[in-house]
């Protein structure tokens, strides 16, 4: 069993009078995590799988009396695939307000927040967690740092979805299945999305621009859509945890870019599946961009799982001076450049060092990247 980083924190927050919500994109291991929590808690729990039609009927608009009968005297109740249940937020509110001495855990895909209506009913009554594909930290604790160094390139090419990691040798087939069966399911289930082919084109455009500034106008011209549609679809991709973005850092210099952003994929394997390129890094011209995406996704997982509240950016000037990653912690600026190839000669630009002389800087390479990810 690969221990998930948020498991310990969830266990610490059991029986605190709040519903625990675990969301994330499909196939990140939410059901497995919930089963592990149930086992590690040592409590006799009840499990409701909302994929079952009768379970959905029981938990759709029940009365508090009906909920008490369903839950019985179980101290821990898990509702899996909760996004399948209409008005699940109201059901969970009834449970937390009317049933004493029960801890409810609800798991669901990212659509739970988009369509489940949990935010307003559960204001102040929930503790939320987002589960991502395996992280470097989780895998290095399970396999050892030495082993993760050995398989670094495989991780970058095929990504870290649990089913991919656990099916060595069949990564391509698993990724293709994940993309075809699960990747777009939450997005396409929303009424707002009427052009599934457009989502795929936008994803391909984002995949080819990994590590570069993103222009909604340029993407719109490429895919044949207006800026507003492109922006709305990319916003949905953010909400279902397919991609995330970094804004540009700007403070002291007139020609610093102020409104630009970069967009990365939470999983590099999904990114490579979208463009159907599984070549080794030595055979491709986007190795540097993939390395950047991998490091950014793993850094974001680490920050979110550890509860470190920082501001994250990239930096670039109109003259194309740039820094891959800028992090501001407690008013201290940290700047990092990412280097994959030993042939690259990378330095922190003098313009940045002059403007922010108190900043701390570093170059992240294949030799020292574990330090950046923990």
Q: pLDDT of 4-42, one tens digit each? A: 999 999 999 999 999 999 999 889 999 999 999 999 999
Distance CA 245, CA 56 (A): 35
Q: Which two tokens stand for residue 219?
A: 């993407």
Q: Are residues 181 and 224 in the same domain?
A: yes
Q: Are residues 354 and 230 in the same domain?
A: yes
**pLDDT, the chain, mean:** 91
Q: Are residues 103 and 213 in the same domain?
A: no
Last residue of a domain, one of 130, 148, 179: 130
| Mean pLDDT for the stretch of residues 274-285 | 95
Would you state the pLDDT for residue 356? 93
Give the range of the structural domain holding residue 40, as residue numbers without chain letter: 7-130
Q: Identify whether 1 is part of a domain.
A: no
Q: Are residues 166 and 88 in the same domain?
A: no
Q: Identify whether 99 is part of a domain.
A: yes
Distance CA 23, CA 240 (A): 9
Cα 292–chain centre separation: 16
| Mean pLDDT for the stretch of residues 167-187 | 85
SS3 state of residue 333: strand
Q: Are residues 173 and 269 in the same domain?
A: yes
- Cα torsion angle, 287, 290, 296, 299, sign: negative
Q: Are residues 110 and 196 in the same domain?
A: no
Q: Are residues 62 and 154 in the same domain?
A: no
Q: Identify whether 92 is part of a domain.
A: yes
**pLDDT at residue 258 is higher than 80:** no
The number of distinct structural domains making up the chain is 2
Last residue of a domain, one of 96, 130, 164: 130
Distance CA 337, CA 292 (A): 9
Q: Identify whether 2 is part of a domain.
A: no
Q: Are residues 259 and 315 in the same domain?
A: yes
- Could you report the per-residue pLDDT of 103-153, keeping only the tens digit for each? 999 999 877 766 667 878 888 999 999 999 999 999 999 999 999 999 999
Q: Are residues 227 and 245 in the same domain?
A: yes
């Amino acid at each position: 069993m690969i221990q998930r980083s948020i498991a310990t924190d969830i266990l610490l927050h059991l029986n605190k009078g709040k519903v625990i919500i675990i969301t994330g994109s499909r196939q990140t291991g939410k059901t497995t995590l919930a089963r592990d929590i149930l086992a590690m808690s040592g409590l006799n729990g009840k499990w409701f799988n909302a994929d079952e039609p009768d379970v959905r009927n029981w938990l759709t608009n029940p009365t508090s009396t009906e909920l008490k009968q369903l839950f019985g005297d179980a101290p821990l109740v898990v509702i899996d695939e909760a996004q399948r249940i209409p008005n699940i937020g109201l059901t969970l509110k009834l449970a937390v307000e009317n049933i004493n001495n029960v801890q409810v855990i609800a798991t669901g895909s990212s659509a739970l927040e988009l369509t489940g209506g949990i935010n307003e009913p559960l204001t102040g009554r929930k503790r939320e967690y987002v589960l991502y594909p395996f992280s470097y930290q989780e895998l290095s604790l399970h396999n050892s740092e030495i082993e993760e160094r050995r398989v670094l390139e495989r991780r970058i090419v095929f990504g870290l979805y649990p089913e991919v990691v656990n099916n060595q040798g069949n990564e391509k087939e698993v990724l293709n299945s994940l993309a075809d069966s699960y990747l777009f399911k939450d997005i396409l289930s929303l009424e707002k999305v009427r052009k599934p082919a457009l989502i795929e084109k936008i994803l391909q455009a984002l995949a080819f621009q990994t590590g570069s500034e993103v222009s909604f106008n340029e993407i719109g011209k490429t895919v044949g859509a207006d800026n507003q549609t492109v922006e709305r679809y990319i916003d949905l991709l953010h909400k279902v945890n397919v991609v995330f973005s970094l804004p540009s850092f700007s403070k002291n210099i007139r020609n610093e870019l102020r409104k630009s952003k970069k967009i990365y994929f939470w999983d590099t394997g999904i990114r490579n599946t979208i463009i159907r390129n599984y070549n080794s890094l030595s055979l491709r011209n986007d190795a540097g961009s993939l390395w950047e995406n991998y490091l950014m996704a793993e850094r974001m997982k680490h920050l979110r799982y550890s509860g470190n509240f920082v501001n994250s950016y990239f930096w670039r000037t109109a003259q194309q001076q740039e820094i891959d990653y800028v992090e501001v912690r407690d008013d201290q600026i940290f700047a990092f450049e990412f280097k994959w190839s030993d042939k690259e000669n990378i330095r922190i630009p003098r313009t940045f060092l002059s403007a922010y002389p108190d900043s701390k800087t570093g170059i992240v390479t294949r030799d020292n990247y574990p330090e950046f990810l923990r």
